[in-house]
Structure 1
Amino acid sequence: MSHAQRERLAYIDFRLYFMGEIGRPDLASRFGVAPAGATRDLALYREIAPQNIEFDGSSKIYRIGKEFGSLFNHIPQRVLSALSLGFGDGVNGDAWPMLPCESPAVLSSPRIEVLASICRAIHAKRPIAVRYHSLSRGDSDRVIVPFALVDTGLRWHVRAFDRKSSEFRDFVVTRIEAPTLVDEEPKANERPENDIQWTRIVELDLVPPPRLARPEIIRMDYGMADSSIRMRVRAAFADNMLLRWSVDASPDHSLREEQYRLWLSDPLALYGVENAKLAPGYQAPAAKTAHK
């Protein structure tokens, strides 16, 4: 079975699982195959998993079988993206939602030409010269050595070595202008394996705050198997992740606002994280001792 045919069978499986039906036009319009080719794919799927699919002769459409069992592993994030945004590959123009969906508006999107230049630099393992706009340091020309993109949930960042400060930092992609590839190899100290905050993995144990009367509801919300969520994240972005998830990082779960439905049960997990102060309610261990 070719890769292209597997993709079409996965789409049949997806449509049956989440829409309950699929017709030849659905397959033909998604992949640009002829009706005869769509018929062959549907017949092959039916041969492989006859319990999954039933043909409705009155409407000439295939419907989900009563004993359906998915043949493919459909990842929830991708499923929700497809349902809310549609399938898009940049060729067929606009993609439309498959079901009525509402989601928060994206207020910060990188300019595509800037993003493309950064991606090429990461892939080629080359520095880029940029004009960067910083709230605290103003505008400056810099040469950075990027190696990863990071989505914080609010903005896209690029992790890079900054030759101006001789440090590894994260840069907001929307604040970058005029990226130009520098055709030279990065120096040894500029490579990602030397970024301590990037290579260090922080283990976070997230639990319902003790103040909640119905912690079992929070455990249901997050699919907690054993009363907590154990996450492993890079120290460089642990603060952003806790901010994104609205996690109370105070040592005594003191944040009472409704949005804080999770508590970092061991705030000392953030010890040594450079930007830990951005985590909601976080107190440095020294400050906690002085307060006592």
Structure 2
Amino acid sequence: MAVESIQVDATSIRHPLFAQIHRAMRLGRCIRVLYRSLSNPEAHERLIRLHSLIQAGPRWHIRAYCSKAEAFCDLNLGRISAASASEDAGLPRLDRDVDWHRIVAVRLVPHRDLSAEQVRMVREEYMGGTAATVFNVRAPIAKYLIQSFRAAIDPERERAPEHLLMVYQPEELPAVADIRRL
């Protein structure tokens, strides 16, 4: 009997860089990183205090307070090209990350455009025959959960059959859970 998995890790990280990041996280220290983002693709320096690793499908992220963003945010680990120790700059620690400590309920239901027979099949496949499946997750992780299920946030634009599921009452989720910010 063969078992195949498409669970892949697409984040390319050099071991010495990961070791620096992991050490800073474990010790609660600040580090300076060279980071690239879609909004700023040129490598630029950021001072961060990180507290958690997040696996989101094929990519890895770190949850950190970033002095540039002046907020807690998720940084794609594969977009960090260098890291160096930094003096403690008084950046907030994990206990100040209000969104991280906030648990939200993400309720997934069959997409409203499915036929009655398709709804029944999707309920059996994803929900054990019930009307919905609910995941209680940290608010910043909700967007990754929604993405992993390819659940529609806007069922008018995100149609079945490409989206078998949709988020029930997405307007009730906090802004940090917005998948459109990925």
TM-score category, normalised to shorter length: 0.7 to 0.9
Q: Is the 8 A contact 1:200 1:234 kept in 2?
A: yes
Question: Quick one: which of 253, 256, 269 aligns to 2:172?
Answer: 269
State the Cα distance separating 1:216 from its structure 2 match. 2.2
Say which SS state the counterpart of residue 237 (structure 1) adopts.
helix
1:101-180 matches, within 5 Å, as 101-103=4-6, 105-137=8-40, 138-180=42-84
Which residue does the alignment assign to 1:218?
Answer: 122
Q: Is the 8 A contact 2:30 2:87 kept in 1?
A: yes
Per-residue CA deviations over 1:39-90 (Å, capped at 9, x if unaligned) read: xxxxxxxxxxxxxxxxxxxxxxxxxxxxxxxxxxxxxxxxxxxxxxxxxxxx
State the Cα distance separating 1:183 from its structure 2 match. 5.6
Q: Is the 8 A contact 1:202 1:235 kept in 2?
A: yes
Between Structure 1 and Structure 2, the one with more strand by share is: 2
Say which SS state the counterpart of residue 141 (structure 2) adopts.
helix
State the Cα distance separating 1:130 from its structure 2 match. 1.2
In the superposition, relative to structure 1, how do residues 108 and 224 fare at CA in structure 2: closer, same or farther (>3 Å)? same
Unaligned runs of 5+ in 2: none
Say which SS state the counterpart of residue 23 (structure 2) adopts.
helix
Amino acid across the alignment from 2:37: S
Q: What is the TM-score when the length of structure 1 is the normalising length?
A: 0.54
Aligned-residue Cα RMSD (Å) equals 2.5
Amino acid across the alignment from 1:267: P
Which structure has more relative contact order (CA 8 Å, sep 6+)? It is 2
Say which SS state the counterpart of residue 142 (structure 2) adopts.
helix
Per-residue CA deviations over 1:162-217 (Å, capped at 9, x if unaligned) read: 12332211111111122123364x63x61122223222222111111232222222
State the Cα distance separating 1:104 from its structure 2 match. 5.6
Q: In 2, distance between residues paired with 1:192 and 1:104? A: 29
Q: In 1, distance between residues paired with 2:165 and 2:35? A: 35
Q: What is the TM-score when the length of structure 2 is the normalising length?
A: 0.83
In the superposition, relative to structure 1, how do residues 275 and 100 fare at CA in structure 2: closer, same or farther (>3 Å)? closer
